[in-house]
């Protein structure tokens, strides 16, 4: 089965950890993930500046390692990212900001990427939300 996964909550939220566990189990079960799409507060899960307390798992780091290790398509919604100050080098330059907190393996893109993923996948699985 081919999954598209959308994450709407930040790394510290329980649903972010559940999404990561689901994604790991899906790949371990022989399934495919066509795209990971981070939207709304989910963009915080892709930020390289998230620091977890010492007694908590570093879910943002785990997401980064998971996407890199499996060479997944990790897309961060550009509108949601800009609104929340999650910027790659190009956007930081464009908006004259000094901080860059979105690096590889993440790509900034629009909602069209979520739509395309839904078309390519057998199932869309969403975690978190309003």
Q: What is the CB neighbour count within 10 angstroms for residue 73?
A: 17
Query: Hey, what's the torsion of the CAs at 9, 24, 63, 77, to 10 degrees?
Result: -50
For residues 30 and 32, give the distance between their C-alpha atoms in angstroms, rounded to a whole number: 7
* Active-site annotation holder among 77, 78, 86, 108: 77
Residue 126 annotated to the active site = no
CA atoms within 13 A on the CB side of 99: 9
Closest CA to 76 of 40, 104, 37: 37
Tokens of residue 25, six digits: 């189990």
Residues tagged active-site? 77
């Amino acid at each position: 089965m081919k999954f598209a996964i959308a994450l709407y909550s930040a790394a510290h939220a329980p649903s972010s950890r559940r999404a990561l566990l689901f994604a790991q189990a899906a790949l371990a079960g022989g399934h495919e993930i066509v795209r990971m799409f981070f939207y709304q507060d989910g963009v915080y899960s892709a930020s390289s500046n998230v620091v977890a307390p010492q007694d908590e798992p570093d879910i943002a780091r785990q997401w980064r390692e998971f996407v890199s290790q499996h060479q997944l398509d990790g897309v961060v919604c550009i509108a949601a990212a800009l609104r929340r100050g999650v910027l790659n080098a190009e956007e930081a330059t464009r908006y004259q900001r000094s901080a860059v907190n979105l690096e590889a393996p993440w790509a900034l893109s629009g909602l069209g990427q979520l739509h395309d993923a839904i078309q390519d996948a057998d199932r869309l699985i969403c975690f978190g939300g309003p």
